[in-house]
Chain A
Amino acid sequence: MTEGRYELVIVGAGPGGLAAAAHARALGVAYRLLERSSHLADTVFCYQAGKPVMAEPALVPARSELPFVAGSRESVLEAWQRSAAQQGLAISFGSELSGLVRRADPEWPFLLTTSQGEELEARHVVLALGTQGNPRRLGVPGEDLSHVATRLADPKAHQGEDILVVGAGDSALEIALALAPANRVSLVVRAAEIVRAKESLEQQVLSLAAGGRLKVFFSSQVAELKAEEARLKTPEGEVVVAARRVFVKIGADPPRRQLESWGVAFRGEGRDARPVVDSRYQSSVPGLYLIGAVAGQDLIKLAINQGYEVVEHILGRPIDPADEAVLVARLPFWTGKAAERIESLQDEIPLFAEADPGLLRELFLAAEVKSYGDGEEILAQNDYTSTFLVITEGKVAISAVPEGGGAEKPLATLSAGNFFGEMGLISGRRRNATARAQGAVRLVEIPRKAMLRLLASSPGARRMVDQAFLVRAFERDLFPNTPESQLWELVGKATVERPDRGATLFREGDPGDAFYLIRSGMLRIAKRSGDREIVVAYLVAGNSFGETALLDGTRRTATVSAIFPSELIRLSKADCDAFLARHPEARADLEARLEPLRLANLVLDATPRAGEVLHDLIRHEVVMGTDALLIDNHKCVRCNNCVRACESVHADGQARLSLSGIELANLLVPNSCWQCADPLCMLDCPPDAIVRNARGEVSIKSNCIGCGNCARNCPYGNIFMVHPRPREGGLAGFLARLFGATAPASEREVAVKCDLCSGLPSGPACVASCPTGAALRLDPRTYRETVERLVDRPGGRG
């Protein structure tokens, strides 16, 4: 027996459902709102007490009768309850949808059945279900124990406990952050970095981790949960951590089976698959609309907007999405609505072809379209920028200065539809080539995080970026003169290896059978010298090794082991041989590429002392730096001009270097910032005063509050806490300094560190002011060459 007929039945009184109901009511549409729980917005209701609720994305305006501003869980819920009451929204609490049938009836096509046995007929149905009721499971023993939960009610209820949080999304990070101050919290992150969460949360977590107040297990998984502890599978092996409480926040899925039983189609397989919805939020079932989390939209503001818009669509009133104006402004060189512009881009750029349009909308909200004139530099080799660039018009010339220096060599010319910047995207390392516009060029520049999110959800795009990474690496490291089209044959032959920390890939003297490319992690290359093993190189993501194995009858000339858990791309000698048989001209290319490496090995054998110094540079972690200052003591005349220069070019009159530090043979690594590749000093700066610019220079801004966190976090003692001593300029200042008068020091203490004299066109003043050329900056790409050149051989004059 049918209980009622409605123009619109909305299922779920979350933000999306409430917004739809509010707008339907405002427009006089007969609606019914079903909510299975006894309260509004069950997902937000289940947040921990006091949890901040963000109103992102900030660029997109909110449009709804339902109010929404950022605030605490309680304030947001209260605002919605008040608004629902004021508007008189009719909500059927405790009413769960149990059946949905689309019938042949053209007037009332939907028959809905509730858990209370009620039958409703509707012309349109909006599912705003959320995913709260369908949390993902770990699938490990002990998951159903009583101390394992998927929600945290009140952080204050936990004091001094050992707590394990599993997950790397916003919710998991928020729980870890809420609990960390009063408990011993471990966070398990499946990936090697935090990709999906908001950057502000990620920074807070990393900051706590750096300070030892939170333990983060990256690239790890839970193997088993017990009453008091958890067994984790980490790259270092199995680890047991104390865990009296466990919070599993690894996301939630739409109820796929149920939705499919109602006829809703899904795009793709796997847990990241989303239901198919068109631009009006209509599913593959005509008249059935999906909004909010069930359609893959996790952000509250966007779900509310969808609730508003879906009612407009149902009424046949054309309405643009709330982000329309922003997106149209972001994509100014295409025509039509934002959806049409994105469609055009999908046609033009193969990388975007298979991506979900909804995801692309998010991507382009974060991206920027840029134009460059002929010859203009788009990015420079060794820059620390990490954006991903897609060419939409024109050509881009890629070139690079080879390792060890020399003239810049052209590598490739990329045309429209192509992309670059995949090295920074995949490995997070600095740029390995320079890109310049050839003629007028237009690019879409996408932030690394936004691109990583797209890759996580779009297997096709991920495959294309991975393959391009491989082809370009093969071209750069093995076959610089072989056409790219031929190199694509090798891509399918590459396999992935993941050595754990300390694992040895091969030993010196082993038969060579493969070439390796480092995708992530860090490896150590060591050779035997007499009775000891010396480290001759230290390779990070983006580098390759084992090239000589690809030539006939070559044995390994060094032992390679993983310093950190690493991901390597392996190309076997057999596959390479088959390729060379098909393309004999590539053999000469390979041999020409490998000849300098053979010579370098011979030089290394002849200069074991340089190897020892390199070993010590690694032992002291100087190689963590990207621009460490090095002083050749056999040239240094101890005039102190470098220190005076440093004092002089900084307004506070304080030097950023001290001529004491690590001494290795005739080389001194003074206490001066090394500009670490992974600067720990940046992790815990309350006013965000430490910043890194595109060239990798890490500097401290004037808003430093003098807390000293950075100085404590720097493992190398290269940040100094000082009282600024402002220097007086002009003749008076000069005369005062001439007679030894110094300005009084300020009472305020601030942190100072070498900033490589950013802003000085002449570069670091210490180097430019050294009369004998004893001071130099150590380029990580030329460690071995620099050390070989500088280290004096015993008994020789160098």
Chain B
Amino acid sequence: MSFLGGSAARRWRFGGLALLGLAVAAWLLQRRLEPASHGGSPGGLAWGILATLLILALVAFGWRKRAYRSRLGKLEGWLQVHLWLGLLVLLAVLFHTGWRFQDRLALTTLGVMALVVASGLVGAFLYALLPRFLTAASSRRTPAEASAQLNQQAQAMALLASGRSPAFQRVFQGLLDEATPGRFAGWRLLAGRPRRAEAGEHAWSRKLGEVPPPERDSLRALLVLSRQHQELLESLEAQQFYRNWLEVWLWVHVPASLALLVLVAVHAITALYYRGF
């Protein structure tokens, strides 16, 4: 069961849908009373004020997430509210525009808001989908356990290679390079897990041929260790792949939310200043 299927989610699904329905009904009523509605009309202004208040409430989620002693309910409920109010705010802003999109600042604000809402929806989708895959990928080792084991293996490999011939060192360096994450490895993981060099029979016999015969037994041990190292790394990367996706949307959602706050403030001030309110 995902976070969208629990009892809190069910309660808020009902509440959220009711709120959205109510907003649409209110807008239909407003259309009748105020056919030429726009951002500065009384109805449009009311939607704007509502949207601003909703944005502030949505931002409060970020505060609650870090207010660990808060008595204001569980964070689980806050997230459900955050989701539904996020959808509601988009409707409220659209109703506020009166479907007129001339003002560049207002349009930019709307665009950023759409980005915030869209990234939020993507986040909700990822939150609902990925934990199950991550659990399957991490069922054998936690990242901490895997990291500790990787370090041990790397030390054992270094010990095997120390004092060997330059050819042995080259093979060792090659194995190390394969196992070393490059720059932006974390970001690259988002595009999929890296394919590693083949470590089959052929590749191994080629590498064994590169080193002097007395060192081949040690190289065999090194290759076995390297293979184990690689498997472990792949398991860690599989976990990290899902972890990165669970986090990456926040890199859009949070900065866009902050930008939105600024834009809303500027939009409100300019509207009030230039339009005489």
**Nearest Cβ on chain A to B204's Cβ, whole angstroms:** 34
Pick out which of these stretches binds chain A: B41-49, B104-112, B130-138. Answer: B130-138
- Of B74, B130, B131, B144, the contact of A768 (CB 8 Å cutoff): B74
**Nearest Cβ on chain A to B270's Cβ, whole angstroms:** 31
**Nearest Cβ on chain A to B258's Cβ, whole angstroms:** 14
CA distance A770 to B68 in the complex (A): 10
For window 24-75 of B, CB contacts with A under 8 Å fall at: 65-66, 68-71, 74-75
Q: Is the CB of B1 within 8 A of A798?
A: yes
In the bound complex, residues from chain A placing their C-beta under 8 Å from that of B132 are 634, 666, 792
Does chain B have a CB within 8 A of A648? Answer: yes
CB within 8 Å for A638 and B243 given contacts A660-B144, A798-B5: yes
Q: Is the CB of B127 within 8 A of A762?
A: no
Does chain B have a CB within 8 A of A359? Answer: no
- Of B1, B74, B142, B246, the contact of A659 (CB 8 Å cutoff): B142
Q: Is the CB of A632 within 8 A of B1?
A: yes
In the bound complex, residues from chain A placing their C-beta under 8 Å from that of B131 are 633-638, 772, 774
**Bitwise interface map of B from 1 to 16 toward A, beta carbon under 8 Å scored 1, else 0:** 1110110110000000
Does chain A have a CB within 8 A of B76? Answer: yes
- Of B1, B75, B127, B243, the contact of A769 (CB 8 Å cutoff): B75
In the bound complex, residues from chain B placing their C-beta under 8 Å from that of A666 are 132, 135
CA distance A435 to B253 in the complex (A): 51
CA distance A659 to B143 in the complex (A): 10
Does chain B have a CB within 8 A of A797? Answer: yes
CA distance A660 to B70 in the complex (A): 26
Q: Which residue on A lies nearest to B141, using beta carbons?
A: A660
Does chain B have a CB within 8 A of A790? Answer: yes
For window 138-164 of B, CB contacts with A under 8 Å fall at: 139, 142, 144-145
- Of A632, A660, A770, A771, the contact of B142 (CB 8 Å cutoff): A660
Q: Is the CB of A773 within 8 A of B2?
A: no
Q: Which residue on B lies nearest to A650, using beta carbons?
A: B68
Q: Is the CB of B65 within 8 A of A633?
A: no
For window 318-371 of A, CB contacts with B under 8 Å fall at: none
Q: Which residue on B lies nearest to A791, using beta carbons?
A: B1
In the bound complex, residues from chain B placing their C-beta under 8 Å from that of A797 are 1-2, 5
In the bound complex, residues from chain A placing their C-beta under 8 Å from that of B3 are 635, 637, 771-774
Does chain A have a CB within 8 A of B78? Answer: yes
For window 752-775 of A, CB contacts with B under 8 Å fall at: 760-762, 765, 767-774
CA distance A761 to B145 in the complex (A): 35
Q: Which residue on A lies nearest to B72, using beta carbons?
A: A762
**Nearest Cβ on chain B to A664's Cβ, whole angstroms:** 11
**Nearest Cβ on chain A to B3's Cβ, whole angstroms:** 3
CA distance A771 to B4 in the complex (A): 11
Does chain A have a CB within 8 A of B79? Answer: yes
Q: Which residue on B lies nearest to A768, using beta carbons?
A: B74
- Of B70, B127, B139, the contact of A772 (CB 8 Å cutoff): B127
CB within 8 Å for A790 and B68 given contacts A634-B135, A660-B144, A663-B139: no
Does chain B have a CB within 8 A of A644? Answer: yes
CB within 8 Å for A769 and B6 given contacts A638-B246, A660-B142: no
In the bound complex, residues from chain B placing their C-beta under 8 Å from that of A765 are 68-69
**Bitwise interface map of A from 767 to 798 toward B, beta carbon under 8 Å scored 1, else 0:** 11111111000000000000000101000011
Q: Is the CB of B6 within 8 A of A773?
A: yes
In the bound complex, residues from chain A placing their C-beta under 8 Å from that of B75 are 641, 768-771
**Nearest Cβ on chain B to A789's Cβ, whole angstroms:** 8
In the bound complex, residues from chain A placing their C-beta under 8 Å from that of B243 are 638
CA distance A674 to B41 in the complex (A): 59
Q: Is the CB of B135 within 8 A of A762?
A: no
In the bound complex, residues from chain B placing their C-beta under 8 Å from that of A773 are 3, 6, 8-9, 74, 76
**Nearest Cβ on chain B to A787's Cβ, whole angstroms:** 13
CA distance A660 to B146 in the complex (A): 12
In the bound complex, residues from chain B placing their C-beta under 8 Å from that of A632 are 1
Query: How many residues of A are in contact with the other chain, CB < 8 A?
Result: 33
In the bound complex, residues from chain A placing their C-beta under 8 Å from that of B127 are 637, 772
**Nearest Cβ on chain B to A666's Cβ, whole angstroms:** 6
In the bound complex, residues from chain B placing their C-beta under 8 Å from that of A722 are none
Does chain B have a CB within 8 A of A645? Answer: yes
- Of B6, B79, B139, B145, the contact of A660 (CB 8 Å cutoff): B145
In the bound complex, residues from chain A placing their C-beta under 8 Å from that of B139 are 663
Q: Is the CB of A633 within 8 A of B76?
A: no
Q: Is the CB of B134 within 8 A of A638?
A: yes
CA distance A797 to B3 in the complex (A): 12
CB within 8 Å for A767 and B74 given contacts A649-B68, A649-B69, A762-B69: yes
Q: Which residue on A lies nearest to B142, using beta carbons?
A: A660
**Nearest Cβ on chain B to A782's Cβ, whole angstroms:** 14
For window 469-508 of A, CB contacts with B under 8 Å fall at: none
Q: Which residue on B lies nearest to A798, using beta carbons?
A: B1
For window 75-95 of B, CB contacts with A under 8 Å fall at: 75-76, 78-79
In the bound complex, residues from chain A placing their C-beta under 8 Å from that of B9 are 773
CA distance A633 to B137 in the complex (A): 11
For window 659-718 of A, CB contacts with B under 8 Å fall at: 659-660, 663, 666
Q: Is the CB of A792 within 8 A of B69?
A: no
Q: Which residue on A lies nearest to B61, using beta carbons?
A: A771
In the bound complex, residues from chain A placing their C-beta under 8 Å from that of B68 are 644-645, 648-649, 765, 768-769
In the bound complex, residues from chain A placing their C-beta under 8 Å from that of B5 are 797-798
CB within 8 Å for A769 and B65 given contacts A635-B1, A638-B243: yes
In the bound complex, residues from chain A placing their C-beta under 8 Å from that of B71 are 761-762
**Nearest Cβ on chain B to A651's Cβ, whole angstroms:** 12
In the bound complex, residues from chain A placing their C-beta under 8 Å from that of B246 are 637-639
**Nearest Cβ on chain A to B103's Cβ, whole angstroms:** 35
In the bound complex, residues from chain B placing their C-beta under 8 Å from that of A762 are 69-71, 74
CA distance A659 to B138 in the complex (A): 12
CA distance A762 to B127 in the complex (A): 25
CB within 8 Å for A760 and B135 given contacts A635-B6, A771-B75, A772-B127: no
**Nearest Cβ on chain A to B91's Cβ, whole angstroms:** 24
**Nearest Cβ on chain B to A735's Cβ, whole angstroms:** 13
Q: Which residue on A lies nearest to B139, using beta carbons?
A: A663
Q: Which residue on A lies nearest to B126, using beta carbons?
A: A637
CA distance A753 to B229 in the complex (A): 35
In the bound complex, residues from chain A placing their C-beta under 8 Å from that of B2 are 634-635, 797-798
**Nearest Cβ on chain A to B82's Cβ, whole angstroms:** 9
**Bitwise interface map of B from 159 to 173 toward A, beta carbon under 8 Å scored 1, else 0:** 000000000000000
CA distance A320 to B205 in the complex (A): 102
**Nearest Cβ on chain B to A284's Cβ, whole angstroms:** 66
Q: Which residue on B lies nearest to A789, using beta carbons?
A: B1
CB within 8 Å for A641 and B65 given contacts A634-B135, A636-B131, A762-B70: yes
CA distance A762 to B77 in the complex (A): 13
CA distance A666 to B1 in the complex (A): 10
In the bound complex, residues from chain A placing their C-beta under 8 Å from that of B78 are 771
CA distance A28 to B243 in the complex (A): 93
Which residue of B69, B70, B71, B145 has the most chain A CB atoms within 10 A of its CB atom?
B69
- Of A638, A659, A771, the contact of B65 (CB 8 Å cutoff): A771
Interface of B with A (CB < 8 Å)? Answer: 1-3, 5-6, 8-9, 65-66, 68-71, 74-76, 78-79, 127, 130-132, 134-135, 139, 142, 144-145, 243, 246
Q: Identify 11 residue pairs between A and B in the complex whose beta-carbon atoms are under 8 Å apart, listed by A's number.
A: A637-B131, A641-B75, A649-B68, A659-B142, A666-B135, A768-B70, A770-B75, A771-B75, A771-B79, A792-B132, A798-B5
Additional A-B contact list (11), CB under 8 Å, known A641-B65, A648-B69: A635-B2, A637-B246, A645-B68, A762-B70, A769-B75, A770-B76, A771-B76, A773-B6, A773-B76, A774-B3, A792-B1
What are the 9 closest A-B residue pairs judged by CB atoms, nearest first? A772-B3, A798-B1, A773-B76, A633-B135, A645-B68, A648-B68, A771-B79, A771-B75, A765-B68
Interface of A with B (CB < 8 Å)? Answer: 632-639, 641, 644-645, 648-649, 659-660, 663, 666, 760-762, 765, 767-774, 790, 792, 797-798
